[in-house]
Amino acid sequence: MIHLTQLRMQLERSFSPLACECALTGDNSLTVKLYHPATGQVDLVVSGLSVAMLRTPEAMAALIEELRYELESIGLNRSNAL
């Protein structure tokens, strides 16, 4: 399993300039929040991620791709709302 600080750093590198918060809940699931550090505006919050699944570099890469997809989907929905 990856440490939360390592996960946060890897996500921040992947989603720069966004900042990241990673929190472990009581049921051993993970919540990831990507936000703008200067304004605090939150772009994405994903909860219920399985920490046990983040054991390999491939699993981390899959998580990053999924988060990237979610961010793009949110961006498309915001553009359509205008």
In this prediction, what percent of the chain has a pLDDT beyond 70?
89
Look at residue 12 and tell me if it is in a domain.
Answer: yes
Look at residue 82 and tell me if it is in a domain.
Answer: no
52: helix, coil or strand? helix
Look at residue 68 and tell me if it is in a domain.
Answer: yes
Look at residue 31 and tell me if it is in a domain.
Answer: yes
Look at residue 25 and tell me if it is in a domain.
Answer: yes
Question: Taking phi first (over 0 means left), then psi (-120 to 50 degrees means alpha), and beta for anything else, what does residue 28 get?
Answer: left
Residue 76 has pLDDT above 80, yes or no: no
> Can you list the positions of beta strands (E) in 19-58?
19-24, 29-35, 42-50
Q: Whole domain around residue 32: which residue ranges? A: 4-75
Look at residue 71 and tell me if it is in a domain.
Answer: yes
Whole-number pLDDT of residue 28 = 83
Which is higher by pLDDT, 78 or 39?
39
Q: How many domains does the chain have?
A: 1
